Chain A
Amino acid sequence: MRAFEYFTATDSKHAVALLAEHAPARVLAGGTDLLADLKSSPSHAPKTVVDISRAADMRGIEVNARGLCIGALVTHSEIMASTVIRDLFPALADAAHTIGAVQTRNLGTLGGNLVTAVPSVDSGPTLVALDAQVTIAGPAGHRTMPLSEFFVAPRRTALKPDELLVEIVIPAENLGKPAHFLKMGLRKGQALALVNAASSLRIDAKKNTCKDVRIALGAVAPTVVRAKTAEKFLEGRAATAENFAEAGRLAVADAKPISDMRASADYRKDLVAVLAKRTLEAACAQSKAAKQKGARK
């Protein structure tokens, strides 16, 4: 690593002030992406690194009137261990489990994963499928936006140089909405996704039809994308295996994968169809299981 100056922020406000004071600076949260980048690309060496890993107000997982709020500094391990998250959105814990390995999950943060914004970002699809919002702190205060708009391009987000992602919020109306995440990598551990996908939906118990369908795909476009054609198709339709399979086939239309050393575009398209179908089926099963559980109570 090339030399840099190092400042530690005590909270998000302090961090924003430090970013403004020492621009252009880079933000250190978990460090798993930043340090690897600084070591491999000397040209990326910043003059200043602002360490936000001790910003206490950016930690914590809580449910409040706004919904499920996850601090940007919550690590992947903390997400996996959180009973709140495992109760409400097991898919989020599943997605966290597919990131890196134990050591990197203990360091790496949800916020960092989203800000790095690689196309295969594993925490992206589930959050997008649950209509997550992000809270951004800047010199002028806070602003919020949908996560789907936060991703701009590979490794580019809507963050300005003096801004900080502080919180991720899954809106209150989606609390407990059935969702499922799947990832296909070349290995089980420490793999980049060839394709990852998440779906969320609600099932109308009487009619057995789907509503509020969301399908989000990763690693098949410059950013996480919604498979809107497939979503539209399923909306109001019966929750059957045939319809889920058809939705999977339609999801391919919204995927624009590339061929690279890991997989060909065609293979990725096939994966999209399979993963979209399976996540829909699993989310549907979750919905039914929840209803049975509710009925027994």
Chain B
Amino acid sequence: MTDVTLKINGETRSAAVPPETTLLKMLRESFSLTGAKLGCDVGDCGACTVIVDGLPVNSCLMLAGQADGREVLTIEGLATPDHLHPIQKTFEDCASLQCGFCGPGVIMSSKALLDANPNPSVAEIRDALAGNLCRCTGYTKMIEAVQQAAQVMRSAKSKRAA
């Protein structure tokens, strides 16, 4: 077994898993964090996207052991009991999620984008979401939601600064 200790959504957690366990499987089965989904299991669909040390990655392409000592943020770590994350709010407002299966991955990719680039162009959003496939909603409403969230996050930031 591989011993893994990592920080998930701000909390330190540990698990002992077989070496061939992916980060995705560990999140879903050892920690019951089922927000990240298994869609293709080979890094094409992005439904398993989580943020590791600030970068979005396919958790199906990372062994649990590789995540040892790292910081992982999953969709479950975005909202607080009182507040949705602005991206979650705008995705809801823009009806950007239809069946919703790709949603957690798309939102995590969007979060990583907006953390690094508070004012992305449409081309930059498309580039950031290229690794997230959606079959129902389509991408137009998602791009709309990311733009709106960027605006919300920018104005919140400038308010805080003032």
Contact = CB atoms under 8 A, between A and B. Distances in A.
Given A31-B61, A106-B57, A1 B130 contact: no
Contacts of A8: 65
Main secondary structure of the interface of B (DSSP, over half): mixed
**Interface size classification for chain B:** 20 to 34
B19 A101 contact: no
**Interface size classification for chain A:** 20 to 34
Interface in A123-162: none
A36 B41 CA distance: 8
Contact of B42 (A36, A77, A107): A36
B62 interface: yes
A53 interface: yes
Given A32-B43, A100-B131, A190-B44, A2 B20 contact: yes
A114 B85 CA distance: 40
A3 B20 contact: yes
B2 interface: yes
A267 interface: no
A253 interface: no
Given A77-B55, A102-B109, A103-B46, A35 B130 contact: no
Nearest to B49: A103
Contact of A5 (B19, B55, B61, B131): B19
A102 B130 contact: yes
Interface in A1-54: 1-6, 8, 28, 30-32, 35-36, 38-40, 49, 51, 53
B61 A189 contact: no
Contact of A103 (B2, B41, B56, B63): B56
A31 B2 CA distance: 17
A188 interface: yes
8 contacts: A6-B20, A30-B61, A35-B60, A51-B63, A53-B66, A77-B55, A107-B62, A189-B127
Interface of B: 2, 18-20, 22, 41-44, 46, 49, 55-58, 60-63, 65-66, 109, 112-113, 126-128, 130-132
Question: Which 10 A-B pairs have CB atoms at the shortest separation, nearest pair first?
Answer: A101-B131, A189-B130, A6-B19, A36-B42, A106-B55, A101-B130, A1-B20, A103-B131, A103-B58, A35-B61
